[in-house]
Every structure is written in structure tokens, then in C-alpha cells.
């Protein structure tokens, strides 16, 4: 049994989010939540939120059977690039530099160990 959760338009660059997601891919859910909760990276807050949502989706999907959180693991976790907002930044001698504010879409799939 598996369940998926996504969070779109996270205001963090995909490169920074991938650093956090690589820490929890393939880990058990208990260890992954603990790793994300005590991580100092800003992107770990959004990742923990999505992971908890995926676990809740699994419990709500199959209410008849009792799932133990210790038996769950992160099956897939990936980050896709979202839209980029382009802004202008003042530069010397009347010029302007383009500033790109990137965003990302995070998807986490949890499954039971069968």
C-alpha cells in the first residue's frame, strides 16, 4: 500500500530542496521525520510537512487495516522545478541585473514494507 503527497510552488530553489530530500529518500518514516525536524536547512520545514501529509494520506486511504508508522518508508521523493519569477536588481552605472526567484514542486510517496 502506498500514498502520495505533493506541495507545489514552494519558494525555495529546487537545488536547495534536493539537498534536503536526498537525506530522507529510502529511509523509514520515523527516521525521516526525525532527520527533517532537526535539520537546520530552511527547506526541511516544507519537506517535513509533505512527509507528514503523505503518512496521513496512507492512514486515511486504508482505514480498515492498522498501519504501524515503524513499518512505513519513503518509497519515492523528488523535486521538480516550478515557475521562476523574474525581477530586476539595480546595478552600477545605470544597469540592471536580472534576479530569478525560483520555486519548486515537491512529491513524496510513502509505502508499507511488505
- Reported as a single tens digit per residue, the pLDDT across 1-59 is 899 999 999 999 999 999 999 999 999 999 999 999 999 999 999 999 999 999 999 99
Which CATH code of 3.40.50.1820, 3.90.470.10, 3.40.50.2300, 1.10.645.10 fits the domain covering 2-112?
A: 3.90.470.10
- DSSP code per residue over 60-111: HH--SSPPPGGGEEEEEEEEEE---EEEEEE-GGG-EEEEEE--EEEEEEEE
- Reported as a single tens digit per residue, the pLDDT across 69-105 is 889 999 999 999 999 999 999 999 999 999 999 999 9
Which pLDDT band holds residue 66 (cuts at 50, 70, 90)?
confident
CA angle 40, 41, 42 (to 5 degrees): 115
- DSSP code per residue over 61-73: H--SSPPPGGGEE
Domain ranges of the chain: 2-112
Letter string b/e over residues 69-101, b meaning 16 or more CB atoms within 10 A of that residue's CB: eeebbbbebebeebeeeeeeeeeeeeeeeeeee
The pLDDT assigned to 69 comes to 80
The pLDDT assigned to 67 comes to 80
Amino acid at each position: 500500500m502506498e500514498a502520495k503527497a505533493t506541495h507545489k510552488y514552494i519558494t525555495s530553489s529546487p537545488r536547495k530542496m534536493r539537498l534536503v530530500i536526498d537525506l530522507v529518500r529510502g529511509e523509514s518514516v520515523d527516521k525521516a521525520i526525525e532527520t527533517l525536524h532537526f535539520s537546520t536547512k530552511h527547506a526541511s520545514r516544507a519537506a517535513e510537512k509533505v512527509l507528514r501529509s503523505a503518512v496521513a494520506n496512507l492512514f486515511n486511504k486504508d482505514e480498515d487495516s492498522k498501519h504501524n508508522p515503524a513499518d512505513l518508508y519513503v518509497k519515492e521523493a523528488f523535486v521538480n522545478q516550478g515557475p521562476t519569477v523574474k525581477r530586476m536588481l539595480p546595478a552600477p552605472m545605470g544597469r540592471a541585473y536580472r534576479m530569478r526567484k525560483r520555486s519548486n514542486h515537491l512529491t513524496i510517496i510513502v509505502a508499507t514494507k511488505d
